[in-house]
Amino acid sequence: MSPETKQRIVEVAARLFSKKGVKTVSIQQLSGELGVSTKTIYLYFKTKEEIVKEVLLLGINADRALIKQLMTQKIPSLEKVLIILDYFSLKTKASYPGIIDDLKKYYSEEYKLIDEFIAEVENKFYPKYIFKPGIREGYFRKSMNIKIITRFISVVSIIAWSQDYYSVEEFGNRNIYGELIKNILMGISTKKGSDYLEKRLKKYPNLKS
């Protein structure tokens, strides 16, 4: 078996899931897109659940790589948070509406990978590399409760993807994630932070509502 073929299966599956949703894409559709037989796919993956897991890991590893890079960059903490949130906003906009609902309902075991990653970012990245430095730099209010805010951002990251809260039928194709995140940042920022955001947000098109 070829590692390149396995990687291609995962990458094509990721594209199809993002375009059509996880539940609706069958192994037959995936094989047609790849131009291989279903038998070939089953040589690498015994079930669709295994493919879903690998697709999620592909995305999470990309997210981790960006976060690791930001940890070492000597730029303002507020710039770091804009970069990471702009990145997540782009992922949200590029994904099938309700993809998070599909995963939670039909692939609950695989969805635990997302929960674990969100907890990792919430407990390790935001406090140490964003909010504590941001308070020292004068961008965020000293009175803010870091644990509450990081949890709220995590919750927003989920509900912005969910059709249960912001359906396309009711809200259209508006950038829900970008709108919510901008307001959260403005709410916890000092005057210095707000001025910085007003200036720098124009550089991040994916955070536009």
Supply the pLDDT for residue 71. Answer: 92
Which residues neighbour 7 within 8 Å (Cβ) at sequence distance 6 or greater?
none
Residue 94's pLDDT band (cuts 50, 70, 90) = confident
Q: Is residue 184 part of a domain?
A: yes
Res. 79: pLDDT tops 90: yes
Supply the pLDDT for residue 173. Answer: 67
Which residues neighbour 103 within 8 Å (Cβ) at sequence distance 6 or greater?
22, 52, 56, 110, 111, 114
Number of domains comprising the chain: 1
Res. 10: pLDDT tops 80: yes
Which CATH number characterizes residue 56's domain?
1.10.357
Provide the whole-model pTM: 0.91
Position with higher pLDDT, 56 vs 159: 56
Q: Is residue 198 part of a domain?
A: yes
Give residue 25's Cα distance to chain centre.
21
pLDDT in tens, 97-142: 889 999 999 999 999 999 999 999 999 999 999 999 999 999 999 9
Structure tokens that stand for 87 in this block: 């990145």
Residue range of the domain that includes 83: 49-207
pLDDT in tens, 17-49: 999 999 999 999 999 999 999 999 999 999 999
pLDDT in tens, 149-206: 999 999 988 888 889 998 888 887 678 888 898 899 999 999 999 999 999 998 998 8
Q: Is residue 8 part of a domain?
A: no
Which phi and psi angles does 20 have, rounded to 5°? -115, -10
Res. 65: pLDDT tops 90: yes
Supply the pLDDT for residue 16. Answer: 96
Q: Is residue 70 part of a domain?
A: yes
Q: Is residue 22 part of a domain?
A: no
Q: Is residue 39 part of a domain?
A: no
Q: Is residue 59 part of a domain?
A: yes
Supply the pLDDT for residue 209. Answer: 61
Distance CA 3, CA 105 (A): 30
> What is the DSSP code string of the chain?
--HHHHHHHHHHHHHHHHHH-TTT--HHHHHHHHTS-HHHHHHH-SSHHHHHHHHHHHHHHHHHHHHHHHHH--S-HHHHHHHHHHHHHHHHHHSPTTHHHHHHHH-HHHHHHHHHHHHHIIIIIIIIIIIHHHHHHTSB-TT--HHHHHHHHHHHHHHTT-TTTS-HHHHTT--HHHHHHHHHHHHHB-HHHHHHHHHHGGG-GGG--
Q: Is residue 182 part of a domain?
A: yes
